Amino acid sequence: MPSREARILVTGGAGFIGFHVCQALAEAGCQVFSVDSVTDYYDPTLKRARLAQLARFEHFQAFETSIEDIAALQAVFNEARPDIVIHLAAQAGVRYSLEHPRSYINANLNGTFNVMEMVRVHRPRHFLIASTSSVYGANTVIPFREDHRADYPITLYAATKKATEAMTHSYAHLWNLPTTVMRFFTVYGPWGRPDMALFKMTKKLLADEEIDVYGEGEMFRDFTYIDDTVEAILRLADSPPATPTGSPETTFGVDGESRSPVAPFQVVNVAGGQPVKLMDFVRAIERHVGKPARLRFLPMQPGDMRTTYANADLVEKLTSTRPATTIDVGVGRFIEWYRSYYGVT
């Protein structure tokens, strides 16, 4: 956990993961700065409700601006003077990228480049950036390990995230910027995103509507509960990778397979390494809602991966912890929050 004196800038602070990261840091007494444009990709009311929760903290400050606006971003960095930057802002969603591809180029590439430029100028002691299990794409070797090839993305979303990994590596090398890429695996929990399966299934089940189950229910996901994800992020934040010493031949693979041989840069899977069958996930929702669902089984959608399954050895090595919240516990906490937030009995 970063010290109470740390100044931390979180992009995407009104988002699902960003909100929880900001909350944990603010509760610990850190000076937290959030950047978020509060887009309408999903309900802005939910994003503003998250920001309202954060506004209760004395040491939290929110900036409603886009990372695509370099002048506005520069003003934020000048005020924040961050010791740590946690870059979570992005255009998310695999399926949305089929319909709105340009938004991924604008946010994920251009926006990330702007953040990188500010990191280059302000030189925080650690730069952390969100990536995704989707970068493993057509890789069929499971569980996915950080040093596996991730050269065959099957959606534009995944391609932009893989591109940002390469972009940040180049800056880590050129400007000696300690950088950690975090590959998230199906994060879920209270205050989650309405476009994700848990939210949509819960909403429909409570409304007695039919639930769509893609991949005929035969998909597997390495579901990672939000509290476990935040714990990993905060522990990683306090442990920046060191600049390699010696020749690339002797440093490659030292202290973890994902460390760069030429830059203070590492890639880390943030997951528990416990994939769950989609139908088991559905059954957990049914148990906690308290009634069976009417299911409509559908084929895989374009861009979907059949299985996401992380090797979690490195995150455990670096943080001395491994995401371990069970689906039953995590789903139960989400549904409890959902009922309370939306006033559903």
Q: DSSP class of residue 291? A: S
d(CA 248, CA 256): 14
Look at the chain and report how many structural domains it folds into: 1
CA–CA dist 138, 181 (Å, integer): 20
CB 149 within 8 A of CB 165: no
Query: DSSP character for 308?
Result: -
* Residue 296 within any structural domain of the chain: no
Contacts with 143 (C-beta within 8 Å, 6 or more apart), sequence order: 273, 275, 309, 310, 311, 312
Those residues of the chain that have pLDDT short of 50 are 250-256
Tokens standing for 254? Answer: 């030292």
pLDDT the model gives residue 248 = 57
Catalytic residue from among 41, 96, 104, 157: 157
Question: Is residue 41 a contact partner of residue 91, using CB atoms and an 8 Å limit?
Answer: yes
42 inside domain: yes
On whether residue 332 sits in a domain, the answer given is: no
198 is a domain residue: no
* Any domain includes 123: yes
pLDDT score at 249: 54
Report the chain's C-alpha Rg in angstroms. 19
CATH number of the CATH domain containing 165:
3.40.50.720
pLDDT for residue 203:
96
The per-residue pLDDT for 1 is: 77
Predicted pLDDT of residue 257: 57
Please report how many Cα atoms fall inside a 13 Å half-sphere around the Cα of residue 163, on the Cβ side: 17
Is 276 inside a domain boundary?
A: no
157 is catalytic: yes
Domain-embedded: residue 128: yes
Domain containing residue 132: 7-187+224-271+309-323
pLDDT of residue 3: 76
What is each CA distance from 123 to 34, 167, 172, 179, 237, in whole angstroms? 18, 16, 11, 11, 15
| Residue 93 resides in a domain | yes
